[in-house]
Structure 1
Amino acid sequence: MNFQGRFKLGLLALAVFGFLSAPAIAALEAVSDDIPAAGDGSDPTLVNVSLANGLPIWYEDEMGLKLAQCLDQGVLLADGESVVDPCNIGMTFPQFPPSLINLSRLSYWEASAAFNYLSTPDSETGAEQGGFALLVLRLAGEGAGIGALVEGNQAVSSRIRLRIDLPIPGTYRVTHPFGTVDYEITDPGRRSINQTQDVGKLAEDVQNFLVAMNNRVDFQMPGPVDLFSPDEDEGPFGAIVNQDGRTVGPFLVPTLEFNPADFMGRPVMAANGDLYIGLPFDAAVPPGDVFQPVTPGPDAVNFFRIELLEDGEGNTPGPDGDINGFFLNVANQTQTLETDLFQVVGKIFDDGLNVAPVAPEVTVGLLKGRSVVDIDVFAGVALDALDSFSEVNVHGINPMAIALADPIEGVYRRVDTNMPFLTQVETLDQGTIRRITRLASGQSLFRYLPSQAATGGDTFHYVVQDTGGLISAPAAVHVLIEDLQVERADFRVKTGKWQVSGTTDQPLIGEVANSLTVYAGPRARLSGTGDTAMTGQVALSAGAQAIDYRLVLDGISPQDNITSVNLHVDGAGQPVIFRLCGNPFIFPNPPTCAVTDGRLDISRDLTDFDLLFSGTLGVLDLDGAIDAIFAGNTYVSVVNSGNPGAQVRGNLETPVISSDVSINEGLWEINGRTQVLPGLLPNVTVRSATGVQTYSIPVRLR
């Protein structure tokens, strides 16, 4: 949770001198798949983790409540109107989905309390005194030690954090649902009490997901120097904030029944049937925090309380409750601060019947000589067809949860922890393969890099996992490396006749005949809306090292001021990936949009240097941009600061010259008339049924 106090009261100082005793309770019982916290069968190498991020699917407390990874955003509630964020996710780039490369923390459960308060003003200066108090209780996946949450460094920790501002020296007692501690404060001010106990986060706990469920009794007392030593027990990962190093649990949940009017209570049902223990935020814009009463912890405590027992000189409260006229809580004239309202997070795991998903067998093509191909194993496949929801199957496929696998043994696993490898590189006959994640979409793909001498094809195996943790049997992905050549590309201007021919070394795809489609070069017709007479054309020719283009725009009036012409990828945010013209002094330094006699006419080439990065649709390099263009996912827009109401744009298309072109002993040819013309930059491309597509081939006009 993110809280911020409005008081800043001096420097940090802390001295812990004692703690109260209580029985140790193992209040977290099991982790997926039913691996117990302790006793027979408690084997950390058997924990079932998500192939999306390498963290456990769920945790269960002693009350039988199972909570799943909470990673949902923008959830529509069952009322069909309210959209909320039910989770508290740590992400480097909040504008993108949470994924292994964009995840610093995910919570299974959280309950946090916070408040501001006022004390008696300073007796000498009359200055206002008071502060901010924060209690954070949570079970969360994050990086082990001081490392990031990355492959091979996953950990789950149970956290108890106290951050409390205190106005005067003295002895204070802090009580929360999982413990009671006395503190002797000698240097009051901001965060006079500042402790964090993380059970399960030490570097030695990496990928041991049982540690967070068990009490730790080996914590050392923090000293002034050691307070921020995160790789030692005596640092914030080992600071004592309760009497026995107790882990969190049972999970605290709201006591009220859910009320959509104030978003308080439980359970909360989403429109898709998902259930949450409560909501941390309401549906307002911007969202407001939701605080509510919760069930008690193991000692029947369901509040966060701070008590001043005596001041720094040993004075205790008198008959009226004051200490020499001082009240910690001036509003109530007491030495006690307390709240029983908590902000909660938790997604309830659906423990219904479930069956394993099916991974589709995939065949993809790679043009010989091209450096890389990104493979979407779900392209053109309905996920529900692979793992249909029903009364006996409550979990569907998690498209982020894919992993390379041995065809017999299944997922590749680490020798030391038995946890799955998620992103490691595997060497195949003709190249290498590894899983990647696209930042902007969160999509998991397999990236195949062929060797320089690669020919023929390669095969690797993979598995998919559903949201319940079940994993499919391994399925094959066949990579066909096709040597597809265009040896002739002619267009006879007078007759409108095309003559295009070439060769391929893949006449068959398995036992099925391969076929080809021949396209004219990418082009867009630009037209306007609003008060403008501008029209134009853009044509592209995509090569291995550069994209040539020609831009022609006519009908530009004196009041128009063309500041840029941009090529966009059609995805989230409609990002610009190339500037065809614009400010030459701003990266990537395009040519100026110079207008002569009402016309803009520019011919140039675009390289990797000109590319404006966009993870959407995989536009990470020049080949990614070419793929987006050939897929019809790009458009061109004109920015007219002189007439902003007039918008000029056009979608890039690659018209089909001929489809279903047959192959005869590796040879193919088209010879005939069509309505498609060569365009401003005459060129053709050829696409095979394997998915392989050539770069643009210049057309000879005859």
Structure 2
Amino acid sequence: MKKKLRRLAVTAGVTVAVIAPLAGTAAAVVVTTATRQGSLTQAGPLAEHGFPAWYRDSNGVRLEACTTLDDPLCSTLPDEVPNPDAPVSYPDNFPGEFFYQLAGAQMTLANGVDFGLGMDLEGAWAAEEVRDGDQMVFGRIRIRFDAVEGTRYRITHPYGVDDLTATDRGVNMTEDIGTTPGAFGQALSSRVGPFLKWDPSIAPAAPAGYIGDPGVEHRVVGSPYGTNFVHVEQLDTASGAVVADLGTTDLFSVQGRYATNSGVDIDQATYTVGSDGTGVIEVYASSEPGQSIEVSANAALGFRATKLRGSNGHYYGRFPVTGSVPPGAEIEVVNSSDRPVAKKKRKLVDVVRVTDARYDADNGTLTVAATSSDADATPPQLSVTGLGPINGPFTGVLAPPAAVTVTSSSGGSTTVPLTGSGRAFVPDLPVANAVAVAGAVAGQRVTLDGAGSTGAIDAYSWTQTGGPAVILTGAATPTASFVATQAGTYDFRLIVSGPGGASLPVTVHITVTGAAPAVARAGADQSVVRGRTVALDGSASTGAETYQWRQVSGPAVTLTGATSAKPTFAYPALTLPAAPGPNATYVYNNDPVVLELTATNPAGASTSRVTVRPVAETFTGLTVRYRTGNNEWRISGTSNLLAGQRITAVLGGTLAGRVVGTPATVDAAGAFSIRVTGPNPGTIRTLSLVSTTGGQVLGFPVTVTN
């Protein structure tokens, strides 16, 4: 059972690793269940292989890593080790993956399908090869079984409830939480935990020192929801109602070994040396409470093996040192309570204390003062990260960091926040920008526009500085105006002000010409496909204060913006003859639309006309056939206009006769066709066509066959 579950975790399908959300090859939803009672709570000290020596859950259970091959109740797989015939060792002969907890359940569902569930706390390598710094531990939930694509299932298991919809690969869901190398605490947020272990009320009991025997299926305890079983249900895809109960099991295979070793971490190791060459080494370590933690003898530093003082899992020691501490010197701390003894080494560093860290915003200077605990004859160099050695204030600092880190050439470092001083900042001076419309004419109102000014602006001030005197309206607003009573050059100055002060003044010059009637220019004639929007443009008119457009002739149109320089209208589609006809009063009107623009100012007005013609439409490849045997018409052809227009066929040489069928729509290639039964043409042997875009053919010959 153990081997089968592990193979499932390694070889089947594609694993999608995530930090928080659920992922996999089945559409998956984690269903909210009862309040969770328990989880993983702590990752232990790092062992010599760089992984936590153990993980602890909320029930106080600590499980260590199963990394060896010599314990059948807590083993890795032989093919995970480069040389399975040699002892496991780090880094040369270490497994590619291993487990703190390996738990799973398998059963055959009511429909005959094999179901597999894995619930593991797994150690592995980010790049799938043993490399220091790539260690990661993640909690994994994996559910797999064959299923028809689109079917929906609910799986209740010890670590929650999953609502899964099968894909073309069946149900194949993997959730991995904690896949960031070195971030061993991420696994505490996974759904795995507390650890599962054999139910002690059910014989046989678990082997001493283990949560169970992975080769024997057994009932378990430990579910944070009290669901120490697996239950699989098929649901209605839409409503979620249960449509089939597919199976339940409360038998699990579990592997895990209770941690007997506690390990040890060195949290800090520093030294202090005075000018007389004497000093102390301070060591801070952590492990489980009640451990025998000691520093190993170090002849180079001059002290013997000495025990650290402990309380609540924290351990501390002070040890004498005489003379300079050699560069790169390190100490070793051991947990002599462990078997084998846990050992950790750490380089000694000095203690850096920052006595001053301040920034003067007025002068742009950053002052940092610091000391090192290494005060012998050759003190270390202290530097500020990103700025350099401390040899006095740092100048020209426009924007300091929120905190500074002082590092020592002897390895120590510390980070402290900055304290700032200086005058409070205010907004920059605003920048004035003034423009005026060109081509002003005496008698017109001229607008001065300062809206393009930038910065924090509270006030605008327009002042006339040259030219004939005028009455300025809106002098304290972004947009001022005046009426020029005579020709000449007019000068105006704009100043804007705000919390940053007043801007530099800018001047705008306006040349006003003598009064002359407005000159209307309605724009160039146009050709437009009927049914589309036409844009007119009279902006080339000069001296105009008002615009007025009107239609002179052609099919009636509705102008939008008739009093603006650029109105629009929709060129109306041509009206087709009404079915079934005949239509004696039908009038084909494909005349152009003629419009007139009147431009006006106080000195007078003028007009200009523009003609908008419909684009000419032609039909090619026409065939018109009538079969007397079945009274059927077949009409087809191609238009040069690709406008989706409609085409109507009419009996005879005019458009006033009977209509044949219903209008045909021209397709994207320009083709059209009409195939319809009746009407009988009698003795008429011609047919006419007309389109909504103005195309027409009159009196086209009809080919009559049986």
Q: How does the TM-score come out when normalised to structure 1?
A: 0.34
Structure of larger gyration radius: 2
Query: Which structure has the higher relative contact order (CA within 8 Å, separation 6+)?
Result: 1
Bigger share in strand: 2
Q: How does the TM-score come out when normalised to structure 2?
A: 0.34
